[in-house]
């Protein structure tokens, strides 16, 4: 079970902190989209265009935060998102920040959406 599943404040803060960096957020989104098949470390480094040492740092940070998992497939390390942890994080935010309800009124979509008014200075 993921450490994040405990949903204590410390683990939530660590998870949010891990996602509060552009490369880690992009990496986490890539792993979410990859599904249970995951991605090899080499493929991630190539897609992000970052050195292996930087990638290792970011992967370790997300792993410590409980957001991703690692498994070995032959000589490759495969990383996958921890969907239970992701759902626990979203659930915590909905329950504790929004009282279990939608945080904001539903916004209209498409052409029906009102355009923001610009202030005109005279």
Nearest to 67 by CA among 9, 11, 23: 11
Please give the angle made by the CA atoms of 28, 33 and 38, to the nearest 5 degrees: 75
**What mean pLDDT do residues 8-22 have?**
93
Condensed to tens digits (0 to 9), the pLDDT of residues 91-113 reads 888 887 766 666 666 655 555 55
Please give the angle made by the CA atoms of 64, 69 and 71, to the nearest 5 degrees: 130
What the chain holds in terms of domains, given with CATH numbers, is: 3-93 (1.10.10.10)
Condensed to tens digits (0 to 9), the pLDDT of residues 30-87 reads 999 999 999 999 999 999 999 999 999 999 999 999 999 999 999 999 999 999 999 9
Query: Taking a C-beta distance cutoff of 8 angstroms, is the pair 65, 4 a contact?
Result: yes
Nearest to 89 by CA among 30, 8, 1, 21: 8
Q: What is the pLDDT, as a whole number, of residue 94?
A: 82
């Amino acid at each position: 079970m993921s450490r994040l599943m405990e949903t204590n404040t410390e683990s939530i803060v660590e998870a949010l902190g891990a996602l509060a960096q552009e490369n880690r957020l992009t990496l986490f989104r890539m792993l979410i989209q990859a599904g249970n098949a995951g991605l090899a470390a080499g493929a991630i480094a190539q897609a992000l265009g970052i050195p292996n040492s930087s990638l290792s740092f970011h992967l370790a940070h997300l792993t410590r935060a409980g957001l991703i998992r690692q498994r070995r497939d032959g000589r490759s390390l495969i990383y996958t998102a921890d969907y239970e942890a992701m759902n626990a994080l979203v659930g915590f935010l909905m329950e504790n920040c929004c009282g279990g309800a939608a945080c904001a009124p539903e916004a209209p979509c498409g052409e029906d959406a009102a355009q923001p008014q610009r202030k005109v200075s005279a």
